[in-house]
Amino acid sequence: MTVSDLSTAARIRDAAIEVFGEHGFGVGVRAIAAAAGVSPGLVNHHFGSKDGLRTVCDDRVLQLIRDKKVQTITSDNVGKGMLAALAEIEEYGPLVAYMVRSLQAGGPLAESLFEHMVSDAEAYLQAGVEAGTIKPSRDPAARARYILLLNVGATVLWMQMREQRSGKTDYGAAIRELSEELTPPALEFYTQGLLTDSSLLETVLPPESRQ
């Protein structure tokens, strides 16, 4: 594949992420082609089908989220890195829209996206552990899954309620509002914890995991 082919494929992919995020996955190839400024045939030439295009979009969304998470969580100054990420959070509106639409749609592709997100979360949390910015876990995989269920589930629910209340959602503005509302209590929860007594944890953990 030539450089120009890669550029065209990337343009179609990026346009598809925005179109899928705005209109859902029922949108046709013609709408994606129009947004990318190419013919419908060129979309099929590069990706084979709409499902093939969606898989590539999944990979791109995962890559962008993963890269930003790793950059932030392994920073020499995590607080500064998080503030910088929050300052530009509107840029992630299309990615959040795509993620929400995918998980709302359900099915094997949505399940695959979520499982990849969990795997990526485990990897970047481990990167934080190795960098000394994240506490280690007794069960890194379970922790990653819980955090994703908590955060992604809250995001999907919050966005859906907002859309039902106000109609079409500006995802850039919405993710800014969501982050301003939830970041302070989330940081308190993650930094200071919740329970003062560890006996419940020790009770539910298997003996080999107890400290």
Whether the predicted pLDDT of 16 surpasses 90: yes
DSSP 3-state of 203: helix
pLDDT surpasses 70 at 67:
yes
Burial of residue 211 (number of CB atoms within 10 Å: 0-12, 13-18, 19+): exposed
d(CA 92, CA 61) in angstroms, rounded, equals: 10
The least confident of 32-41, 64-73, 91-100, 173-182 is 64-73
Residue type, 51: D
User: Tens digit of pLDDT for each residue in 119-143?
Assistant: 988 988 898 899 888 899 999 999 9
Place of tokens 């607080």: 79
Contact 64, 113 (CB under 8 A): no
Domains of the chain (ranges, CATH numbers): 54-193 (1.10.357.10)
Query: The pTM is what?
Result: 0.76
What is the share, in percent, of the chain residues with pLDDT greater than 70? 85
Q: Are 50 and 13 spatial neighbours (Cβ–Cβ below 8 Å)?
A: no
Mean pLDDT of the chain, nearest integer: 84
Task: Categorize the per-residue pLDDT at 110 as very low, low, confident or very high, splitting at 50, 70 and 90.
Answer: confident
More confident residue, 3 or 168: 168
Nearest CA to 155 among 173, 190, 179, 185? 179
What integer pLDDT is reported at residue 85 of this predicted model?
Answer: 57
